[in-house]
Amino acid sequence: MRKAITYSCMAILLVLPAAALAHGHGHVLGTILTVHPDHLDVKTKDGKSVSVPLAKSTRYFRGNAKATASDLKAGSRVVVHLAADGSAAEVRLPSAAAARSHK
């Protein structure tokens, strides 16, 4: 019985760090202020302006559907998941239906 508990604890301790890393290196939530070819300026909920670099590897989504950088518009709500270097790994816009319901 003691071995089972020990193995269970070890398994949990090995899985928790992996789960934490799956969430990446932070995120930025807010409203797009301006869109530039190489970065986004986002106004966060606390009123701060944050500049987020865009990379060639940045992925774009509108809801769960794929999107492109050209879908980014000033005034749109956005969630940006950051890569290790601080650039945008993923930019998520609300689905078209969700965007209409908030207007």
Q: Into which CATH architecture does domain 25-101 fall?
A: Beta Barrel (2.40)
**What pLDDT shows up at residue 16?**
44
Euclidean distance between CA atoms 54 and 82, whole angstroms = 10
pLDDT values of the chain reduced to their tens digit, one per residue, 103 residues? 666 665 554 545 444 444 444 456 899 999 999 999 999 999 999 999 999 999 999 999 999 999 999 999 999 999 999 999 999 999 999 987 655 555 5
What residue spans define the domains of the chain?
25-101
32-35 long-range Cβ contacts below 8 angstroms, 24+ apart: 32/72, 32/73, 32/74, 32/75, 32/76, 32/77, 32/78, 33/74, 34/74, 35/69, 35/72, 35/73, 35/74
Altogether, the residues listed in the chain come to a count of 103
